[in-house]
Amino acid sequence: MQQLIWIYNELNQVVWYVNSSNYFDAKQMAKLLFLQNLEYEFLGPAYLSAMLKKHGHQVKMDLGASLKEFNPTISEFKPDLVAFSIMSGSYKWALEMAASVKKVFGTKNIFGGPHPTHFPDFINEECVDIIARGEGEWASLELMNCIDAKTDYSQVKNLWVKKDGVIYRNELRCLDDDLDIYPFADRDLYADFRGKADLDIRQLITSRGCPWHCSFCFNDSLRELYKDKGRYVRIRAVDTVVEEARRLKSDYRARIIYFADDVFGLDRKWLLDFLPKYKKNVGLPFICLIRADILAKNEDYAMLLAEHGCIMLSFGIESGNENTRNMVLEKNVKDSDIYKAAQLLHQAGIKFRTFNILGLPGETLKDALKTVQVNIDIKTDFPWCSIFMPFSGTRLTEYAKENNYLSSNDSQKSFFSGSTLVNHPEIKRLENLQSFFQTAVIFPKSLKVIKFLIKLPPNLLFKLWFGFVYSFVYIKAERRGFWKTLIFS
């Protein structure tokens, strides 16, 4: 006997129905295949997979570099869509792969992640069929429901859909205030990666969103996208986070938890409740990200983290020039905050990583060397440094355009491949300094030699040296396996 099944969206409105007695038979549900070339566990695909599997759809992840490697999985799984989670500066492989898959198998594709969220014109790429913007759990579910029911999905919120030469640009849906309605990230999505990627360190988020307004950060433009669509900063319940961490330890043999929030422990009351429960029920060492001013203004904060398992944390310096940091980057962190935070972390026995940016609009070589010196002064354990990339939608990019630091055809690169700025007389030296930044901080006596080397033209040897030192610092900072990290790098 057939039964009528109604499907509801998050607003409790009926969106479609299926008249079938065996609708939730997985063999008849829609199939999504993620393709990835990096040996790394990303939370975005894992959250989407969890939502889709909860509602009966089939999701699979495959790792490779060429279509030949993906052929067996695509042929056997026969996905309705292939999916790519992409970041700006590293999407070219995904674009080429999507085109190849479509040519050989005729399979349509969807792109999600930071790049299509902030650069929706990506939909204009010839081979791209769908992009997802913002938080994607409900959008992906509605999309796969439509595919399964063979109904039109061109009006699904959060999606831009290319259909018959027309692009449907749908608005974002409202944010969910309660993050605990989402299922835990699907860790089994990456189960086949064991032995390839380093899965001993597991990422976990306790919140979404950031309350600060740094001009260079995607959070500010994402907050603007979601204006009037719900509370941007949301924190998960303590017990929910503890339970997910416990499962990572018991079911997935995690040895370190990486709290990947933009800022860990935003709410002090929440943190004081969370830490004892985490230590009692999980007890694994953990890594997190924090702000220097929070550490500096709460002198017990570093010791509190250390007592409950924190072995390493990261915070942003960005620029050693306080005026640039606070007036241009709008970070609102004083030099005194940075020095105080470092002092407290050393006292607590927590090693720390700092984030730094070179090649900022208007930055001089003297400013950049000051950034190096601040890191040396505070004895940064694991320095990290990128080249400024002018990502559209950020206020810092608008500042760069207004001051003629960007050409009309500026293109996105990776954080380490060189600057896109023009009209900057010292940019080549700044690019070279970025290649030697970690070396200078870890081995301060090398700074005299580095000041001479950066006068030379940028070259492959400098980049190779950077890659070697970067891998070394990454391995030490996150205590990852040497060979797996070397392959990933």
Q: Which residues contact 464 (CB under 8 A, 6 or more apart)?
A: none
Per residue in 79-101, pLDDT tens? 999 999 998 777 899 999 999 99
Residues 6+ apart with CB under 8 A from 95: 125, 127, 128
Centre a 10 Å sphere on the Cβ of residue 418 and count the other Cβ atoms it contains. Answer: 16
Residue 408 has a pLDDT of 55
pLDDT of residue 234: 97
Please state the rounded mean pLDDT for residues 373-391.
94
Question: Among the listed ranges 1-10, 89-98, 231-240, 348-357, which one has the minimum average pLDDT value?
Answer: 1-10
Indicate if the pLDDT at residue 5 is higher than 50. no
Check pLDDT > 80 for residue 350. yes
Predicted confidence (pLDDT) at residue 485 exceeds the cutoff of 60: no
| C-beta atoms surrounding 350 within 10 Å | 20
pLDDT surpasses 60 at 413: no
Question: For residue 472, is pLDDT > 90?
Answer: no
The Cα–Cα gap between 318 and 120 comes to 28
Q: Compute the C-alpha angle 58/62/63, nearest 5°.
A: 160
Confidence of residue 471 (pLDDT cuts 50, 70, 90): confident
Specify the residue for token string 């070259």.
Answer: 459
Q: Which of 147-156, 355-364, 401-410 has the lowest mean pLDDT?
A: 401-410
Helix/strand/coil for 452? helix
What DSSP state is assigned to residue 328? I
Average pLDDT over the chain, rounded to whole? 89
Which pLDDT belongs to residue 6? Answer: 37
Cα–Cα distance measured from residue 284 to residue 452, given in angstroms and rounded to the nearest whole number: 45
pLDDT value at 445 more than 90: yes
Nearest of 287, 294, 295 to residue 212 by alpha carbon: 294
Confidence tier at 13 by pLDDT (50, 70, 90)? very low
What per-residue confidence (pLDDT) applies to 197? 62
What pLDDT is attached to residue 32? 98
| Residue appearing with tokens 């349509």 | 108
Q: Say what percent of the chain tops pLDDT 70.
A: 89
User: What average pLDDT does range 185-200 have in this prediction?
Assistant: 79
Global pTM?
A: 0.87
Q: What percent of the chain has pLDDT over 90?
A: 75
Measured distance CA(88)–CA(140) in Å, rounded: 21
Q: Are 167 and 161 in contact (CB under 8 A)?
A: yes
Please, which pLDDT band fits residue 415 given cuts at 50, 70 and 90? low
For 359, 388, 412, 457, the CA distances from 460, given in Å and listed in that order, are 19, 20, 20, 10
The pLDDT of residue 200 is: 87
What residue spans of 298-364 are helical by DSSP H? 301-307, 322-323, 335-348
Q: What DSSP line would sit under 154-167, residue for residue?
A: TT-TTEEEEETTEE
Please state, in angstroms and rounded to a whole number, the distance separating the CA atoms of residues 386 and 357: 5
Structure tokens at 188: 């089994």
Task: Give the pLDDT score at 198.
Answer: 66
24 pLDDT exceeds 70?
A: no
Over residues 104-112, mean pLDDT? 97
The domains located in the chain, with CATH, are 4-169 (3.40.50.280), 198-488 (3.20.20.70)
- Predicted local confidence at residue 88, as pLDDT: 78
Dump pLDDT digits (tens) for 292-343: 999 999 999 999 999 999 999 999 999 999 999 999 999 999 999 999 999 9
pLDDT for 17 beyond 60: no
Cα 238–239–242 angle (5° rounding)?
90
Give tens-digit pLDDT for 215-266: 998 888 899 999 999 999 999 999 999 999 999 999 999 999 999 999 999 9
Helix and strand counts by DSSP (H, E) for the chain: 18, 17
**Exposure string (b/e) for 66-92, b if CB count within 10 Å is 16 or more?**
ebeebeebbeebebbbbbbbbbbbbbe
User: pLDDT of 278-306, one tens digit each?
Assistant: 999 999 999 999 999 999 999 999 999 99
Length of the chain: 489
